[in-house]
Amino acid sequence: MSGGVDSAVAAARAVEAGHDVVGVHLALSRAGGTLRAGSRGCCTIEDAMDARRAADKLGIPFYVWDFSERFRDDVIEDFVSEYRAGRTPNPCMRCNEKIKFAALLERAIELGFDAVCTGHYATLIDTPDGRELHRASDAAKDQSYVLGVLTEAQLAHTYFPLGSTPSKAVVRAEAEERGLSVAQKPDSHDICFIPDGDTRGWLAERVGAETGDILDRSGAVVGRHEGAHAFTVGQRRGLQLGVPASDGKPRFVLEVRPVNNTVVVGPKEALACAEISGDRFTWAGRAPADTTFACHAQIRAHAEPVPAIATLADGVLTVRPDDPFDGVAPGQTAVLYDGTRVIGQFTIARTVSAVAAFGVAERRGFGLGRTGAPASVLPSRDLLPSGRAPSQPRGGCRGPCLSWIRDRARPASRPHPRRSAHRSGRSDRADRRGA
């Protein structure tokens, strides 16, 4: 019980369903005096008290379990080390993976409980082939993406009472009817262990701020920065470039190089990504029957899923979208879907640009897993072998550029994937600002 309205109503529904319910609040902060500021932060003193009041109202036992040390090691330190390496982690994924459905579930099973019940918006379906994780009924609140790290064994011991709820308004109304004081409590946003929202400042204290160069794709210095850790792929704001682009258009972060403390920028179309891969993957339930399969890939919590073809070979999972991804950062999590069902997930370690550099697709390695390789900077002018500039409609390289790359990158034995119309969704604000 986090102290919010979702977990309170989830607990109430579990009690109403006849389960033997015990409320547990996770103490994750090492700072005992941490206070909540509006919608910022979670797992604070106020949150613990709100959770206790909800448990008292429901007539269930309530405990606070101290997982702060585990949270520090598995989530906070991982967050810092990933940024130090030039990657963009998702701490919510790590928390679900390492804390809520690992440390918490392990202790619960040891104490004789059957499952962990949470207020996440997702649906579980039991089938002859095992339990499946599906999207929630309310697409706006669906949280299946951040639950993509759950394994088959963990899914067998989970319970999501809110998954079939049509909207958050229904949950709040139900809380009001039950007399729960958190009925109108605002949802928490941003990163819970950075309650003031200043991710750049927080990282600077732990990683250190060192001035470095901002380069364009030709290698020319176009600006200076005070720490490469403050940037992530796809970021536009906060660059403060001293040299304007030749075409007058905004420039975006294309690459972060922590080894030499440099940041590479370029036009938006250069963010188009034709392939992603990684070797840190898990399956949410049964594994795919084939090593190559069609799916939809989602690379951010609030991004639109993209039709794609996934291939598992030599311990590496590779995904090629029908239409390019936009601004993929190393360290992000890609979650694969079959309709509403979550297939599994992996941490992105390597990308292949959809923009042709003199007829060669740029491969960017990010040193994550055994697929990492040094990155290269695209020349200032990206041309096809014919010398003709690729067409660049809104949303990235979708014309002859991408077709040319696919025709040469696709194995002869694999048929051409069916293309479908897709409109890319906007990424999370936190993703773009380096959070």
By C-alpha distance, which of 262, 307, 278, 273 is closest to 422? 307
Distance of alpha carbon 326 from alpha carbon 362, whole angstroms: 15
- Average confidence (pLDDT) per 10 residues, the chain, 435 residues: 95 98 90 51 80 97 94 94 88 93 95 96 95 93 95 95 94 97 85 80 82 88 84 84 80 88 90 94 95 97 94 97 91 96 96 63 40 33 33 38 41 39 39 39
The alpha carbons of the chain give a radius of gyration, in whole angstroms, of 23
Question: Domain spanning 5-178 has what CATH number?
Answer: 3.40.50.620
Active site residue 401: no
The residues, ordered by sequence, that sit 6+ positions from 49 with a Cβ below 8 Å of its Cβ are: 3
Q: Outline which parts of the chain fall under CATH 2.40.30.10.
A: 270-432
CB 322 within 8 A of CB 419: yes
Select which of 42, 43, 92, 95 is catalytic: 95
By C-alpha distance, which of 229, 228, 227, 225 is closest to 239? 225
Half-sphere exposure at residue 234, Cβ-oriented, CA atoms within 13 angstroms: 25
Distance of alpha carbon 320 from alpha carbon 309, whole angstroms: 5
pLDDT at 234: 87
pLDDT at 246: 78
Q: How far apart, in Å, are the Cα atoms of 367 and each of 87, 158, 258, 349?
A: 9, 34, 11, 7
Q: Outline which parts of the chain fall under CATH 3.40.50.620.
A: 5-178
Select which of 43, 192, 273, 295 is catalytic: 192
CB 76 within 8 A of CB 31: no
Question: What DSSP designation does 140 have?
Answer: T
Question: Domain spanning 209-266 has what CATH number?
Answer: 2.30.30
CB 336 within 8 A of CB 434: no
Residues facing residue 27 across a β-bridge: 66
Give the relative orientation of helices 199-207 and 77-84 as an angle to the nearest 10 degrees. 80
306 burial (CB, 10 Å; 0-12 / 13-18 / 19+) is buried
φ, ψ of residue 360 to 5 degrees: the values are -125, 125
Distance of alpha carbon 124 from alpha carbon 394, whole angstroms: 37
Active site residue 397: no
**Which residue, chain included where needed, has tokens 């919608």?**
39
Distance of alpha carbon 305 from alpha carbon 290, whole angstroms: 21
The pair of structure tokens assigned to 308 is 């794609």
CB 399 within 8 A of CB 391: yes
**Which residue, chain included where needed, has tokens 């009925």?**
183
The pair of structure tokens assigned to 94 is 């790590």
266 burial (CB, 10 Å; 0-12 / 13-18 / 19+) is buried
Give the angle subtended at the CA of 249 by the CAs of 244 and 252, to the nearest 5°. Answer: 85
Coarse DSSP helix, strand, coil percentages of the chain, rounded to the nearest 5 percent: 25, 25, 50
At 280, the amino acid letter reads R
pLDDT at 399: 41
Distance of alpha carbon 113 from alpha carbon 116, whole angstroms: 8
The H or E element spanning position 280 is strand 280-283
What CATH number does domain 270-432 carry, 2.40.30.10, 3.40.50.10480, 3.40.50.11030, 3.40.50.2300?
2.40.30.10
The pair of structure tokens assigned to 344 is 């599994």
Q: Outline which parts of the chain fall under CATH 2.30.30.
A: 209-266
Distance of alpha carbon 351 from alpha carbon 276, whole angstroms: 4
φ, ψ of residue 105 to 5 degrees: the values are -65, -40
Q: How far apart, in Å, are the Cα atoms of 50 and each of 21, 44, 100?
A: 17, 10, 19
The pair of structure tokens assigned to 11 is 């607990």
CB 29 within 8 A of CB 68: yes
